Structure 1
Amino acid sequence: MNQFYYDAVTKMEQAGVADEYIQGWQCGFLQNPKREDQRLTEAYEAGYADGEEKNVDNFADWVQD
C-alpha cells in the first residue's frame, strides 16, 4: 500500500474527520467508481474530489465537533 495513502487516512482518522469524507477520499484516491446517486453526500463528494487530486489540504473542513 502507498505510504502517502496510509499516512493521509491515519491523519484524517486521528483528527476526527467525518467518515463520509474519508470514504469519499479513499474511493477517489483509489479511482474507484462513485457510489450510486442516492447514497452520495456533500462530505463524500468533497472527499472524492480531493482524493482524485491526492489533495490533503481540505480535510480539516470536515472535522466533526
Structure 2
Amino acid sequence: MNQFYYDAVTKMEQLGVDDEYIQGWQCGFLQNPKREEQRLTEAYEAGYTDGEEKSTDNFSKWAKA
C-alpha cells in the first residue's frame, strides 16, 4: 500500500468519517468494482467517486460530529 492511501484512511478514521464513505473511498482508490446496487448508499458512492479521483477534499463532509 502506498503512503498516501494509508495516511488518507488514518485521517478519515481520526475524523470519525462515516464507515460507508471510508469503504467506498477505499474501493474507488483501489479500483475495485462497486458493491451490488441494493447495498449502495449515498456515503459509499460519494466515497467511491472521491477514491477514484484520489481526492481527500470531502472527508469532513462525511465526519460524524
TM-score normalised per structure 2: 0.98
Are 1:45 and 2:29 matched, yes or no? no
Inter-partner Cα distance in structure 2 for 1:23 and 1:5: 12
Inter-partner Cα distance in structure 1 for 2:23 and 2:63: 14
Q: Which amino acid aligns with 1:46?
A: A
Deviation per CA, 1:26-61: give whole Å up to 9, x if none: 000000000000000000000000000000000100
Matches within 5 A, 1:1-65: 1-65=1-65
* 1:25 Cα deviation from its structure 2 partner: 0.1
% identity of equivalent residues: 83
* 1:9 Cα deviation from its structure 2 partner: 0.1
Inter-partner Cα distance in structure 2 for 1:9 and 1:60: 13
Inter-partner Cα distance in structure 2 for 1:18 and 1:31: 20
Q: Which amino acid aligns with 1:51?
A: G
Moved over 4 A (4+): none
SS in 1 for 2:26: helix
* 1:19 Cα deviation from its structure 2 partner: 0.1
How large is the Cα RMSD of the aligned pairs?
0.4
